[in-house]
Amino acid sequence: MAMATPTPPSASCCLVGPVPFTDVVGGEEDDRITPPECGHIISTLPTIAFNGRFVHHQYQGAWVIHERMPGVLSFQRRFTPRPGDVLLASPPKCGTTWLKAMSFAIMARAAYPPSAADHPLRRLNPHECVPFIDDLFSAGHDTKLEALPSPRLMNTHMQHSLLPASVADNPNAKIVYICREPKDMLVSMWHFGNTIHPCEFSDLFQSVCDGKTTDGPMWDHVLGYWKASKASPERVLFLRYEEMLLIPVDNVIKLAQFLGVPFSAADEPARLPADIMKLCSIETMKGLEANKTGTSGLFYKFPHEANFRKGVIGDWVNHMTPEMAQRLDAIVEDKLLGSGLSFGS
């Protein structure tokens, strides 16, 4: 199906980005055609099937779900960067939706004050505001990115090793990465996946321990961005989900500073950072109609409400035996050894 050239709404012509992606380009369509060269590469890769349904390919050390494999290859070959681009990155179920909401609210606050009744985050799910490039490139819809005003705000679950040099080594682009304590990540992943295809918790646990999960191994995902943040802290910001929960306003201020849109001396006494955090809190997000209905995802339709389950620290104790927890902790500790990164207490 031919795709019409997207035209930004007239209201956006006078705005500096980011603006809600859905407002500019409309909804999602799956009319992808895999280029022949991509099909050949994919056919040569090691392949596994999780839970009898989800086929993954191992590419450059990472496990990529089949539907997004063409997108990884296309992104590496075709992405055209712009000065000011911001890429939000994370493993699945580590605060992606929250980071999207916060980053959008921070960067777009001049056009969309957080207290405004018509703020985009009050009528749209965060995934409708910030495009997921893994799906866009997989469906051949990457040209939609050209319709967005700069600075563009995008997100990915790709490992750092899969990013093209035009992103990973670009001095004019920034990456914000968020990760989460592995046991809580696993539990959140299990609940989320069960909304479309139930599986046994023990099966997912074993896959995580084996490093064979979507965009895994998890430790390689975290280490890639951790090392990048240490090598280039001015370009890569490494965040922890738990710290964001414990000191949220401080982290909003930190995020704004990194993104090049720091709060003014008057903003903090006026509680602007606190207003942004309140707007983006799980309590507020869960109560909005846009997050109670509808779905997100191009190839797999996940309910919007599945993105706002609990958002707490330590829920893993309700799902794992002490032996399971000790096993996963030991694996992760061994994989991170010598990196300076730890998830220990």
Catalytic annotation, residues:
157
> Are the C-beta atoms of 112 and 124 separated by less than 8 Å?
no
- Joined together, the tokens standing for residue 216 give 């895994």
- Cis preceding linkage at 18, omega within 30: yes
Chain centroid, CA 65 distance in Å: 15
Residues 6+ apart with CB under 8 A from 305: 286, 291, 292, 293
Q: Please give the Cα distance from 281 to 305 (Å, whole number).
A: 14
Backbone angles phi, psi at 81, to 5 degrees: -75, 160
Q: Please give the Cα distance from 103 to 335 (Å, whole number).
A: 30
- Cis preceding linkage at 113, omega within 30: no
> Are the C-beta atoms of 236 and 175 separated by less than 8 Å?
yes
